[in-house]
Structure 1
Amino acid sequence: MYVVVAGINSMSKRLVKKLEGNHDVVAVDADKDKCDRLYSSSGATVINKSPTTISALEDAGIEKADVLIAAEKEDNENMVVCTLAKKYGVPKVVTRVEDDEYVDAFQIIDAQPISHNDILLSEFLSTVEHPYLVKLANLKGDLELVKASVKESSELEDRTVDEIEKMKKFPQSFEITSVLRDEEKVEDVELRENDQLIMIGPEKDKEKLDSFFQSQ
């Protein structure tokens, strides 16, 4: 896909580096130092212009973009960027939102708002309420992708994935999709200490899953 990122900051820099291996990525920002640093540390095309201007977005190839990500600091600037992107027919427009009062306005112009505060709140709550799980992603249908580790002297050691899923206290609504050992995926193995289990299941049953790993 062809992705235009409007605004360079710590979040969008990480995003660019994650995307650039599989997509054509162009970043736009008015700050020359930010542009120079991103250019030197990534393979993305970088344009030193204000992304709120038509000329900057045209230089970025907005007319062929599949996705535009508005990551400016100010919501009103992101509103301008998103409005211009929709004018050029960009199919998918996503924007960072600082003030929740802007959420409805972005939705009216068919831009997908992502509230920084909502993400932080969700992550903090997940950490506090489910300390034995690490949330990796939200999926469709209220599903979540989560990770848990095999503790030292755990009763899960020397068991297989099939055996764990059949244990009485393991919630049947969750599925173990893979096992990571030393950051590498392994299959059909008996578990060891520090192995990480990647699982998919409904958010409503995370408390049961957390309790399972707490008691392992």
Structure 2
Amino acid sequence: MRIAIAGAGAVGRSIAQELVSDGHQVMLIERDRAHFDPGAVEQAEWVQADACELSSLEDAGMQLCDVVIAATGDDKVNLVVSLLAKTEFAVRRVVARVNDPTNEWLFTESWGVDVAVSTPRILAAMVEEAVTVGDVVRLLTLRQGQANLVEITLDDKTSVAGQPVSSLRLPRDAALVTILRGGRVIVPQPDDTLEGGDELLFVATAAVELEIRTALGY
């Protein structure tokens, strides 16, 4: 895929390096001369331009990109880049970085955002996930809030410990997608037995998150 990243700071460069390593064509767009360092990710195409200017994006060839990632440290810039990518260049997938959690409500389809990634919220979720047993922890919001990736860690006291996956009576809008057990990633099968210490990952709507907890015996 051809992917454009607006913002070549530490976050943008790190994303670019990962994507280049995976074989994607990456273009980094950076306005600030201090952050313009082609040697940092040599395999990427570097463009020194203002990602909020339509003409600059046209010259850079954003219309040829499959994905745009707005990764600057300024939420206003990320919103403008997202809107231009979606409305002016019909980019299929737009991912935007949210720097200030209070601005999350803006990062929606109305601004051209397909996926909003809030670093503070993810870090908070990781802390909760590391120390919480028996509670639902929301890790990631998907599809503009239509569904979430949530996690719950089982303990030995829950009634489902020792029971097969098929015994779970999950709500309609929830699906168990992965079981993390030690160093293993398990794709759940009906006959797999649940164990204390398992971390269960679900995709579910917000409305049924508490029902998931009840289904797991909490």
Aligned residue for 1:185? 186
Distance 1:147 1:56 in 2: 42
Residue of structure 1 in register with 2:160 after alignment: 156
Name which one, 1 or 2, has greater alpha-carbon Rg. Answer: 1
Partner of 1:174: 174
Find the counterpart in structure 2 of residue 205 from structure 1: 208
Cross-structure match for 1:6: 6
Q: Which amino acid aligns with 1:47?
A: W
1:67 to 2:71 alignment: no
**SS of residue matched to 1:112:** coil
CA distance in 2: counterparts of 1:178 and 1:117, whole angstroms: 23
Cα distance in 2, alignment partners of residues 144 and 201 from structure 1 = 5
2:135 to 109, 119, 132: 132
Give the whole-Å Cα distance in 1 for the aligned partners of 2:82 and 2:174: 38
| Seq. identity, % | 22
Whichever residue aligns with residue 71 of structure 2, its letter is A
Are 1:142 and 2:143 an aligned pair?
no
The offset of 1:64, in angstroms, is 1.5
5+ unaligned residues in a row in structure 2: which ranges?
none
Q: Distance in 2 between matches of 1:119 and 1:14?
A: 17
**SS of aligned partner of 1:159:** coil
Deviations 1:96-150 (A, max 9, x none): 56695xx59x95xx643877779849x77xx6xx972232433458332322222
Secondary structure in 2 matching 1:193: coil
**Is the Cα–Cα contact under 8 Å of residues 64 and 90 in structure 1 kept in the other structure?**
no
Q: Which residue does the alignment assign to 2:25?
A: 24
Change (3 A) 1:32 1:68: same
Taking the TM superposition and a 5 Å limit, the aligned residue runs for 1:44-83 are 45-47=44-46, 49-52=48-51, 57=57, 60-74=60-74, 77-78=77-78, 81=81
Q: Cα distance, 1:4 vs. partner?
A: 0.4
Map 1:97-112 onto structure 2 (within 5 A).
Answer: 107=110, 111-112=112-113
**Distance verdict in 2 for CA 1:56–1:133, change over 3 Å:** same
Q: Distance in 2 between matches of 1:35 and 1:131?
A: 46
Displacement after TM superposition at 1:26 (Å): 1.8
Q: Which letter does structure 2 place at the counterpart of 1:177? A: V
Distance 2:5 2:192 in 1: 42
Q: 1:10 to 1:51 in 2, by over 3 A?
A: same
Task: Determine helix, strand or coil for the equivalent of 2:166.
Answer: helix
With normalisation by structure 1, the TM-score equals 0.63
